[in-house]
Amino acid sequence: MKVGLYSITFLGVWYDGPAKTLSEFMQTAARMGYDGVEFDGKRPHANPMDLSAAQRKEIVKEAADLGLEIAGVASNNDFASPVPEHRESQLLMVKEQCRLCGDLGGGVVRLFAAWPGVTLIHGVGSYEFARAGWHAFDGCVTREERWNMVRDCLAEAADFAKEFGVTVALQNHHPLVRHWKDMYDLVEEVNSPYLKCVLDVPMMVSQETDFVREAALTVGKRQSISHFGGEFRRGEDGKVFCKPVNWGGAQINYPAFVKAMKDIDYKGFVNFEYCHPALNEKHEHMGIDWVEMNAQLALEFMRDQIATYYK
């Protein structure tokens, strides 16, 4: 299993400070020792509207020069809006992200079933306001109707992936998707070889070993990319450990997940993402150095997990 860095970490959203450029982000990933990178498909990193054919070639060359594999592009799409114009706009963006991913030599475009988005409050990201806007439609559309809209959009997205020689992959991320089985059921209903799964253990509603293992074994060969997160610190014994963030205090069961990935013979990327407000113990907003520290420790932590359980 390879360890990558997802560019949302340095998009300038979750910490106090500006974004790294795409080039600066790749240089950071290489300096830290990551195997590859995943680009967030929005500004200021990898919005397809902003990248010419020449710029795409430059990105490919720079990644190769730095010894980095381009794992893929992450979409931030919402296929669950009852407004047709919203869904069609999202599909158009996903189509262009598939084209970009193909141009960059990446294998996967990560998809959501639904995504409310984020807003910037005093320059720092927040989920709460966008989520309230997404739920404003709750009174005029049923869950079943939203499910069917998402399934139809995923089928179209899979056709785009086929056209550009990549795959799209659905993440077990709320809203609409409540747990890993919802993600798996949507992928099964579309039934396309170009639509796969993004099973992420931090998003699971239970961290019980049997629950995590069942999810991984069920997804099996459909697993195409994964992510991990949290706050990372070095303990008194010198080993890096993960502190859970906003998951009810439950420790993320990375050992069970990594063991299960080995059992399904998963050889793809697991990418670190810092996608929550960067706050210290006093709830003060932290800067980019805080995030860099976490990204460096996260790499050491996951490499240690792989060395321990991928035997």
pLDDT tens for 233-262 read 999 999 999 987 655 567 899 999 999 999
Q: How far is CA 271 from the centre of its chain?
A: 8
End-to-end CA distance of the chain: 11
For residue 128, name the pLDDT band (cuts at 50, 70, 90): confident
Per the structure, how many domains does the chain have? 1
Q: Among 93-97, 111-115, 140-144, 242-246, which stretch is predicted with the lowest mean pLDDT?
A: 242-246
Mean pLDDT of 93-118: 97
CATH number at residue 194: 3.20.20.150
Q: What is the pLDDT of residue 123?
A: 77
Q: Count the Cβ atoms, other than its own, within 10 Å of residue 308.
A: 12
Q: What is the pLDDT of residue 248?
A: 56
pLDDT over 90 for what percent of the chain?
87
Q: What is the pLDDT of residue 311?
A: 73
For residue 120, name the pLDDT band (cuts at 50, 70, 90): confident
Q: What is the phi/psi pair of residue 124, to 5°?
A: -120, 145
Distance CA 171, CA 161 (A): 16
For residue 231, name the pLDDT band (cuts at 50, 70, 90): very high
Are 261 and 2 a contacting pair, CB within 8 Å? no
Distance CA 269, CA 74 (A): 13
Q: Is the peptide bond before 44 cis (omega within 30 degrees of 0)?
A: yes
Q: What is the pLDDT of residue 236?
A: 95
Q: What is the pLDDT of residue 121?
A: 79
Give the domain range for residue 208.
2-309
Q: Among 22-31, 125-134, 213-222, which stretch is predicted with the lowest mean pLDDT?
A: 125-134
Q: What is the pLDDT of residues 263-311, one digit of tens each?
A: 999 999 999 999 999 999 898 999 999 999 999 999 999 999 999 998 7
For residue 173, name the pLDDT band (cuts at 50, 70, 90): very high
- Per-residue pLDDT for 51 more than 70? yes
pTM for this structure?
0.95
The residue among 237, 263, 243, 258 whose CA lies nearest residue 303 is 258
For residue 125, name the pLDDT band (cuts at 50, 70, 90): confident
- Bridge partners for 192 per DSSP: none
- How would you write the chain as a 3-class SS string? CEEEEEHHHHCCCCCCCCCCCHHHHHHHHHHHCCCEEEEECCCCCCCHHHCCHHHHHHHHHHHHHCCCEEEEEECCCCCCCCCHHHHHHHHHHHHHHHHHHHHHCCCEEEECCCCCCCEEECCEEECHHHHHHHHHHHHHCCHHHHHHHHHHHHHHHHHHHHHHCCEEEEECCCCCCCCHHHHHHHHHHHCCCCEEEECCHHHCCCCCHHHHHHHHHHHHHHECCEEECCEEEECCCCCEEEECCCCCCCCCCHHHHHHHHHHCCCCCEEEECCCCCCECCCCCECCHHHHHHHHHHHHHHHHHHHHHHCC
pLDDT over 70 for what percent of the chain?
98
Q: Count the Cβ atoms, other than its own, within 10 Å of residue 167.
A: 24
Q: What is the pLDDT of residue 1?
A: 96
Are 279 and 286 a contacting pair, CB within 8 Å? yes
Distance CA 130, CA 81 (A): 13
Q: Among 40-49, 63-72, 237-246, which stretch is predicted with the lowest mean pLDDT?
A: 237-246
When the pLDDT of each residue in the chain is averaged and rounded to a whole number, the result is 95
